Chains A and B, each alone.
Chain A
Amino acid sequence: MRRGLLILGRLALAAVFLWAAYAKLRDPWMIFAMEIDAMHIVPNSIVEFLARTMPWFELLLGLLLVVGIQMRYVASVATALLAIFFTTLLVLYLRGFQGDCGCFGPGEQLGPKTLARDGALLALSIWVTWAAFRRSERAPVATM
């Protein structure tokens, strides 16, 4: 039962990362760059790098979550990334930022719904990571 739930959680996270990557990669990278730029949180020199690489990183992470190997590391990275996203969006929201959240391509305005969804995803990712570590403690060579 728990194993089934874990697989479900892992695949749900994978689907989110894959969708986020697809939604960004189908548009020119400049669209995502402008979304990041409008947030005024990173220097201009980093904006282009992030816009060009983040969707590919999300794609890689999504694929690794589907495959399910080295879950301790993969789930930890996914959790760290989601924690960064959530914290950034929360700070922006508290500052009154009303632009695009840049989560799944253009068109989603940052709001309470975005924060609730990202918070839920972060919670799911933390749980998947915790479960991956627990499983590896019991059977170090097994994958989730």
Chain B
Amino acid sequence: MRVTFGVLNVLAALVLLVGLFVVQPRFWALDAPLSVIALVELISAVGLLAKLPWALRALTVSAWVTFVLGLLVVSLIIITMGFLRGIHGDFGTAALAVSGLIVALLVPYTVVLPGLQLLWLKRQPAEPRP
């Protein structure tokens, strides 16, 4: 599982970094949290793949940061959908489908993956203290 989570964290960080540096223009409100998530995921991936002693602690931090920020982002999108529905009324299934698709694309990376990592971490024996 260590290798699997290491690889998945590298992939998730790459997806975020591509989004961060390829999509223009820059916007600090998105850049800052995305950079934090990508950074902690990369650090934990290095730890997991290189079997370093602090790997599980790094994964714990990475999973919690991703999970909390992910829930926050998904919450903001859903609240925005609710707000716009209140303002514009029934604005059609297409807009709802597009917003739903965005949420559906985010959830696997920002909620499901860190959630699974947190569950797996619970079953791991504590790391020996240096």
Partners in one complex: no
Interface residues of B (CB under 8 A from A): none
